[in-house]
Amino acid sequence: MLKHHSLLQSFGALLVLDADCRRIQAFSSNFVELLRISLREGCLPTLSSVLGKRLSQRVRYELQGQQRLPGPLTFKCPARSNRFQLHAYRAGAHVLVEIEPLHTLGKQRLLGTVNERLMRLAEATHQEELLDYLVIAVQELTGHDRVSVCHFDSDWHGLIVAESLAKGRVQPDTELPVVRLPALLGQRFPAKDFPIALRRAYERHPVRLIQDVAAPCEHLLPTSVAVDVSDCFLRAPAPERQQYLQRLGVRGALSVAMQGDTGLWGCYSATRQRLTL
Protein backbone atom coordinates (compact mmCIF):
# COMPACT_ATOMS: atom_id res chain seq x y z
CA MET A 1 0.00 0.00 0.00
CA LEU A 2 1.26 3.50 -0.85
CA LYS A 3 2.00 5.71 2.10
CA HIS A 4 0.66 9.27 2.07
CA HIS A 5 4.15 10.75 1.80
CA SER A 6 4.55 9.21 -1.67
CA LEU A 7 1.40 10.83 -3.09
CA LEU A 8 1.50 13.94 -5.26
CA GLN A 9 -0.86 16.52 -6.74
CA SER A 10 -1.50 16.29 -10.46
CA PHE A 11 -0.87 19.91 -11.53
CA GLY A 12 2.85 19.14 -11.92
CA ALA A 13 5.19 16.20 -12.36
CA LEU A 14 8.08 14.88 -10.28
CA LEU A 15 11.33 13.26 -11.44
CA VAL A 16 13.60 11.32 -9.08
CA LEU A 17 17.23 11.41 -10.23
CA ASP A 18 20.43 9.79 -9.05
CA ALA A 19 22.83 11.93 -7.02
CA ASP A 20 24.76 12.91 -10.18
CA CYS A 21 21.62 14.19 -11.93
CA ARG A 22 22.12 11.93 -14.91
CA ARG A 23 19.59 9.13 -14.79
CA ILE A 24 15.90 9.20 -13.90
CA GLN A 25 15.17 6.53 -11.31
CA ALA A 26 11.44 7.20 -10.88
CA PHE A 27 8.77 9.63 -12.03
CA SER A 28 5.23 10.60 -11.14
CA SER A 29 2.45 8.70 -12.87
CA ASN A 30 1.34 11.81 -14.82
CA PHE A 31 4.82 12.62 -16.14
CA VAL A 32 4.44 11.02 -19.58
CA GLU A 33 1.07 12.66 -20.24
CA LEU A 34 2.06 16.10 -18.93
CA LEU A 35 5.20 16.40 -21.05
CA ARG A 36 4.09 14.03 -23.84
CA ILE A 37 7.25 11.99 -23.54
CA SER A 38 7.64 8.71 -25.41
CA LEU A 39 9.11 5.91 -23.30
CA ARG A 40 10.33 2.53 -24.39
CA GLU A 41 8.71 -0.17 -22.33
CA GLY A 42 10.82 -1.15 -19.36
CA CYS A 43 13.30 1.69 -19.89
CA LEU A 44 13.79 4.82 -17.81
CA PRO A 45 14.85 7.92 -19.77
CA THR A 46 17.91 10.05 -19.12
CA LEU A 47 17.51 13.61 -17.91
CA SER A 48 18.94 15.00 -21.16
CA SER A 49 16.35 13.12 -23.22
CA VAL A 50 13.62 14.94 -21.28
CA LEU A 51 15.07 18.40 -20.71
CA GLY A 52 17.58 18.57 -23.51
CA LYS A 53 21.36 18.48 -23.22
CA ARG A 54 21.90 22.15 -22.35
CA LEU A 55 19.29 22.41 -19.59
CA SER A 56 20.22 19.07 -18.02
CA GLN A 57 23.88 20.16 -17.92
CA ARG A 58 22.86 23.43 -16.28
CA VAL A 59 20.87 21.59 -13.59
CA ARG A 60 23.86 19.31 -12.95
CA TYR A 61 26.32 22.21 -12.81
CA GLU A 62 24.26 24.46 -10.53
CA LEU A 63 23.56 21.62 -8.07
CA GLN A 64 27.23 20.72 -7.59
CA GLY A 65 27.90 21.08 -3.87
CA GLN A 66 24.48 22.70 -3.36
CA GLN A 67 21.25 21.47 -1.75
CA ARG A 68 18.99 23.15 -4.31
CA LEU A 69 18.94 25.33 -7.38
CA PRO A 70 19.10 29.04 -6.54
CA GLY A 71 15.84 29.63 -8.44
CA PRO A 72 13.40 28.04 -10.89
CA LEU A 73 14.48 27.33 -14.47
CA THR A 74 12.13 27.59 -17.46
CA PHE A 75 12.13 25.42 -20.57
CA LYS A 76 10.00 24.47 -23.53
CA CYS A 77 9.18 20.85 -24.16
CA PRO A 78 9.57 19.92 -27.88
CA ALA A 79 6.30 17.97 -27.86
CA ARG A 80 4.29 20.82 -26.31
CA SER A 81 3.80 24.45 -27.28
CA ASN A 82 3.60 25.73 -23.69
CA ARG A 83 6.50 26.38 -21.35
CA PHE A 84 7.38 24.74 -18.05
CA GLN A 85 9.40 25.64 -14.98
CA LEU A 86 11.39 23.31 -12.79
CA HIS A 87 12.75 23.31 -9.24
CA ALA A 88 15.50 20.86 -8.27
CA TYR A 89 16.87 19.96 -4.84
CA ARG A 90 18.58 17.12 -3.02
CA ALA A 91 16.65 14.68 -0.83
CA GLY A 92 18.93 12.07 0.73
CA ALA A 93 20.61 10.06 -2.00
CA HIS A 94 18.33 11.49 -4.69
CA VAL A 95 17.75 14.72 -6.55
CA LEU A 96 14.08 15.65 -6.93
CA VAL A 97 12.95 17.74 -9.90
CA GLU A 98 9.49 19.27 -9.77
CA ILE A 99 8.03 20.40 -13.10
CA GLU A 100 4.99 22.65 -13.51
CA PRO A 101 3.33 24.26 -16.55
CA LEU A 102 4.20 27.95 -16.71
CA HIS A 103 0.95 29.86 -17.05
CA THR A 104 1.23 33.31 -18.60
CA LEU A 105 -0.62 36.02 -16.70
CA GLY A 106 -1.63 39.39 -18.02
CA LYS A 107 1.73 40.99 -17.23
CA GLN A 108 0.67 44.59 -17.57
CA ARG A 109 -2.36 44.11 -15.32
CA LEU A 110 -0.28 42.16 -12.82
CA LEU A 111 2.56 44.68 -12.66
CA GLY A 112 0.17 47.61 -12.52
CA THR A 113 -1.74 46.08 -9.64
CA VAL A 114 1.45 45.24 -7.75
CA ASN A 115 2.77 48.78 -8.14
CA GLU A 116 -0.51 50.30 -7.02
CA ARG A 117 -0.74 48.05 -3.96
CA LEU A 118 2.88 48.62 -2.99
CA MET A 119 2.30 52.36 -3.03
CA ARG A 120 -0.77 52.00 -0.83
CA LEU A 121 1.04 49.62 1.53
CA ALA A 122 3.84 52.17 1.90
CA GLU A 123 1.26 54.73 3.01
CA ALA A 124 -0.33 52.47 5.64
CA THR A 125 0.56 53.31 9.24
CA HIS A 126 -1.32 50.62 11.20
CA GLN A 127 -1.32 46.83 11.14
CA GLU A 128 -5.05 46.74 10.42
CA GLU A 129 -4.54 48.90 7.33
CA LEU A 130 -1.65 46.73 6.14
CA LEU A 131 -3.66 43.53 6.50
CA ASP A 132 -6.69 45.00 4.75
CA TYR A 133 -4.54 46.10 1.82
CA LEU A 134 -2.85 42.70 1.76
CA VAL A 135 -6.05 40.66 1.43
CA ILE A 136 -7.50 43.04 -1.18
CA ALA A 137 -4.30 42.88 -3.23
CA VAL A 138 -4.04 39.09 -3.09
CA GLN A 139 -7.73 38.68 -3.93
CA GLU A 140 -7.34 40.94 -6.96
CA LEU A 141 -4.14 39.26 -8.14
CA THR A 142 -5.33 35.66 -7.75
CA GLY A 143 -9.04 36.08 -8.50
CA HIS A 144 -9.79 33.67 -5.64
CA ASP A 145 -13.15 33.84 -3.91
CA ARG A 146 -11.91 34.41 -0.39
CA VAL A 147 -8.63 35.79 0.94
CA SER A 148 -8.21 35.93 4.70
CA VAL A 149 -5.54 36.42 7.35
CA CYS A 150 -5.70 34.14 10.39
CA HIS A 151 -3.73 35.09 13.52
CA PHE A 152 -2.71 32.45 16.08
CA ASP A 153 -2.82 33.22 19.78
CA SER A 154 -0.50 31.67 22.36
CA ASP A 155 -2.69 28.55 22.54
CA TRP A 156 -2.82 28.22 18.71
CA HIS A 157 -6.45 29.19 18.39
CA GLY A 158 -7.06 31.11 15.16
CA LEU A 159 -8.81 34.45 14.66
CA ILE A 160 -9.69 35.87 11.22
CA VAL A 161 -8.35 39.44 11.43
CA ALA A 162 -8.68 40.50 7.77
CA GLU A 163 -10.71 39.29 4.82
CA SER A 164 -11.57 40.10 1.21
CA LEU A 165 -14.44 38.38 -0.59
CA ALA A 166 -15.30 38.17 -4.24
CA LYS A 167 -18.41 40.15 -5.12
CA GLY A 168 -20.27 37.03 -6.09
CA ARG A 169 -20.62 34.74 -9.07
CA VAL A 170 -23.46 33.35 -11.13
CA GLN A 171 -23.43 29.58 -11.24
CA PRO A 172 -22.34 28.55 -14.76
CA ASP A 173 -24.95 27.28 -17.23
CA THR A 174 -27.82 28.09 -14.88
CA GLU A 175 -30.21 30.93 -14.19
CA LEU A 176 -29.68 30.68 -10.46
CA PRO A 177 -28.95 33.90 -8.56
CA VAL A 178 -25.52 35.25 -7.74
CA VAL A 179 -23.82 33.31 -4.95
CA ARG A 180 -22.08 35.30 -2.23
CA LEU A 181 -19.87 33.84 0.46
CA PRO A 182 -20.58 34.38 4.15
CA ALA A 183 -18.03 36.59 5.90
CA LEU A 184 -15.61 34.97 8.37
CA LEU A 185 -14.05 38.20 9.65
CA GLY A 186 -13.83 38.03 13.44
CA GLN A 187 -14.57 34.31 13.55
CA ARG A 188 -12.47 32.08 15.81
CA PHE A 189 -11.20 28.60 14.99
CA PRO A 190 -10.09 26.05 17.59
CA ALA A 191 -6.45 24.99 17.89
CA LYS A 192 -7.37 21.47 16.68
CA ASP A 193 -7.91 22.99 13.21
CA PHE A 194 -4.18 23.82 13.16
CA PRO A 195 -2.45 20.63 14.37
CA ILE A 196 1.24 20.71 15.25
CA ALA A 197 2.17 18.78 12.08
CA LEU A 198 0.57 21.54 9.99
CA ARG A 199 2.34 24.28 11.95
CA ARG A 200 5.69 22.53 11.56
CA ALA A 201 5.04 22.13 7.85
CA TYR A 202 4.50 25.91 7.65
CA GLU A 203 7.94 26.42 9.23
CA ARG A 204 9.61 24.23 6.59
CA HIS A 205 7.45 25.30 3.67
CA PRO A 206 5.92 28.76 4.09
CA VAL A 207 4.02 28.54 0.78
CA ARG A 208 1.45 25.78 0.26
CA LEU A 209 -0.65 25.30 -2.87
CA ILE A 210 -3.48 22.78 -3.11
CA GLN A 211 -4.77 23.32 -6.61
CA ASP A 212 -7.74 20.96 -6.49
CA VAL A 213 -8.82 19.45 -3.19
CA ALA A 214 -10.85 16.72 -4.88
CA ALA A 215 -8.35 15.75 -7.62
CA PRO A 216 -7.01 12.19 -7.59
CA CYS A 217 -3.41 11.83 -6.45
CA GLU A 218 -0.43 10.73 -8.52
CA HIS A 219 2.19 8.26 -7.36
CA LEU A 220 5.75 7.36 -8.26
CA LEU A 221 6.67 4.78 -10.89
CA PRO A 222 8.17 2.30 -10.41
CA THR A 223 6.55 1.93 -7.02
CA SER A 224 9.55 -0.06 -5.77
CA VAL A 225 11.62 3.16 -5.47
CA ALA A 226 11.32 4.43 -1.90
CA VAL A 227 11.40 8.24 -1.86
CA ASP A 228 9.98 10.53 0.81
CA VAL A 229 8.31 13.45 -1.01
CA SER A 230 7.06 15.21 2.13
CA ASP A 231 9.22 18.24 1.28
CA CYS A 232 7.82 18.56 -2.27
CA PHE A 233 5.76 21.56 -3.27
CA LEU A 234 3.64 19.04 -5.23
CA ARG A 235 2.97 16.82 -2.23
CA ALA A 236 -0.66 15.83 -1.79
CA PRO A 237 -2.58 17.11 1.24
CA ALA A 238 -2.99 14.74 4.16
CA PRO A 239 -6.39 13.00 4.05
CA GLU A 240 -7.45 14.77 7.25
CA ARG A 241 -6.59 18.17 5.76
CA GLN A 242 -8.35 17.29 2.53
CA GLN A 243 -11.53 16.38 4.42
CA TYR A 244 -11.31 19.55 6.53
CA LEU A 245 -11.05 21.78 3.43
CA GLN A 246 -13.91 19.95 1.75
CA ARG A 247 -16.11 20.53 4.81
CA LEU A 248 -15.35 24.26 4.45
CA GLY A 249 -16.43 24.15 0.80
CA VAL A 250 -12.89 24.80 -0.49
CA ARG A 251 -12.01 23.68 -4.02
CA GLY A 252 -8.44 24.98 -4.04
CA ALA A 253 -6.21 26.93 -1.67
CA LEU A 254 -3.01 28.96 -1.57
CA SER A 255 -1.62 29.50 1.95
CA VAL A 256 1.40 31.53 3.03
CA ALA A 257 2.86 31.48 6.55
CA MET A 258 3.37 34.82 8.29
CA GLN A 259 6.29 34.81 10.71
CA GLY A 260 6.57 37.16 13.68
CA ASP A 261 9.38 37.97 16.10
CA THR A 262 8.61 34.90 18.21
CA GLY A 263 7.71 32.43 15.46
CA LEU A 264 4.59 31.66 13.46
CA TRP A 265 2.24 34.65 13.81
CA GLY A 266 -0.45 33.36 11.46
CA CYS A 267 -1.09 32.74 7.78
CA TYR A 268 -3.03 34.17 4.92
CA SER A 269 -5.09 31.95 2.66
CA ALA A 270 -6.58 32.48 -0.78
CA THR A 271 -9.28 29.93 -1.54
CA ARG A 272 -11.53 28.97 -4.41
CA GLN A 273 -14.92 27.92 -3.05
CA ARG A 274 -17.61 25.55 -4.21
CA LEU A 275 -20.76 27.33 -5.33
CA THR A 276 -23.61 26.66 -2.94
CA LEU A 277 -26.86 28.47 -2.28
State how far the Cα of 85 lies from the Cα of 151, in Å rounded to an integer: 33
Q: Where are the domains of the chain?
A: 4-101, 107-273
pLDDT mean over 115-135: 72
The pLDDT-based confidence of 146 (bands split at 50, 70, 90) is very high
Measured CA angle at 65 (ends 62, 71), to 5 deg: 35
When the candidates are 3.30.420.340, 3.30.450.20, 3.40.50.2000, 3.90.1150.10, the CATH number that belongs to 4-101 is 3.30.450.20
pLDDT at 6: 75
Rounded percentage of the chain residues whose pLDDT exceeds 70: 82
- Which H or E run contains 196? helix 196-204
Q: In CATH, what number does 107-273 get? A: 3.30.450.40
Does residue 238 register a pLDDT over 80?
yes
Q: Same CATH topology for 4-101 and 107-273? A: yes
Q: Residue 272's pLDDT is what?
A: 92
User: Residue 231 has what pLDDT?
Assistant: 85
Residue 76 has pLDDT above 90, yes or no: no
- Tell me the average pLDDT of the chain: 84
3 state SS for 52-96: CHHHHHHHHHHCCCCCECCCCEEEECCCCCCEEEEEEEEECCEEE
Supply the DSSP symbol for 111.
H
Under a CB-based contact definition with an 8 Å cutoff, are residues 47 and 86 in contact? no
| pTM for this predicted structure | 0.81
3-state secondary structure of 180: coil
Is the pLDDT assigned to residue 82 strictly greater than 70?
yes
The predicted structure's pLDDT at residue 107: 46
Rounded Cα–Cα distance for residues 273 and 26 (Å) = 34
Residue 119 has pLDDT above 80, yes or no: no
Give residue 224's pLDDT band: very low, low, confident or very high (50, 70, 90): confident
